Amino acid sequence: MKLNCVIIDDEPLAREGLASYVREVDFLHLTDTCENPLELITLLDRQPTDLIFLDIQMPKMNGIDFLKIVENPPMVIITTAYPSFALEGFQLNVLDYLLKPITFDRFFKSANKAKEYHRLLTRSASANPQKVEANDDYFFIKCGNKYEKIVFDDILFAEGLQNYVTIYTTKSKYVTLLNLKNLEENLPSQSFIRVHKSFMVSTNKIESIEGNEIFIQTHRIPISRNYRDQVMAKVLTDKLWKK
């Protein structure tokens, strides 16, 4: 299976250089190139993308800002002439960081890293298809080599990242190979609500709502524009006392 790639760089020569490298690698398929991340945001809605080669210093929006606002991006390999952004890039979960001028050897090594990461995710999803099975008031999930019991009433919220979900509870947090949609389908809808593409929360644990944020204990969970009306209606209906 080939990885569908997109190159984002405001310099035409840089785009063409990376494109020529992509064409030399048999497991990569270049689906498009963009001059800035704003074009990419539209592109991601139109076609499946597995891997992004992302420049940092670009007009309108730089690559780091793009990574901060986009929800659940594909695998990202940064391509830049500025080493000073490396730490911030890795904090945003980029797969690799290529410094210009980029040699083919270094590019190929990074591409193989993306291939291996994608293969592991696909294999894990096939070998361990997680299904949340509700039984009265709890379920089990696999975390590493352990099976953890999760009680519905203990859940504060859940955060999805690609094929993984982190479930935050009153006791601890648990990371498991599971997607947020699957979790949403199995949690009782009367007690849990999706508030963002990457978050769902327990309505009983919401302490306050301010602007586009939900506050649960010390956590601040964003409410996206697409979910706001639904969230406000479910949380406040019959619960909001007025004068």
Pairing mode of beta strands 213-216, 208-210: antiparallel
pLDDT score recorded for residue 88: 74
Q: Which two tokens stand for residue 108?
A: 């190929």
pLDDT score recorded for residue 122: 64
Q: Which residues of the chain are modeled with pLDDT < 50?
A: 125-127, 129-135
pLDDT score recorded for residue 39: 84
pLDDT score recorded for residue 134: 43
pLDDT score recorded for residue 133: 46
The single residue listed with the structure tokens 């706001």 is: 228
pLDDT score recorded for residue 238: 66
- What's the distance, Cα to Cα, between the start and end of the chain in Å? 62
pLDDT score recorded for residue 135: 47
Closest CA to 155 of 221, 205, 196, 219: 205
According to DSSP, residue 70 is labeled: S
- Sort residue 93 into left (φ over 0), alpha (ψ -120 to 50) or beta: left
Domain with CATH 2.40.50.1020 in the chain: 138-236
Question: CA 243 to CA 223: how far, in whole Å?
Answer: 27
pLDDT score recorded for residue 5: 95
To which CATH superfamily is domain 138-236 assigned? LytTr DNA-binding domain (2.40.50.1020)
pLDDT score recorded for residue 229: 87
* CB of 22 closer than 8 Å to CB of 6: no
pLDDT score recorded for residue 132: 47
pLDDT score recorded for residue 112: 93
Domain with CATH 3.40.50.2300 in the chain: 3-125
**3-125, what's its fold?**
Rossmann fold (3.40.50)
Q: Which two tokens stand for residue 53?
A: 């080669």
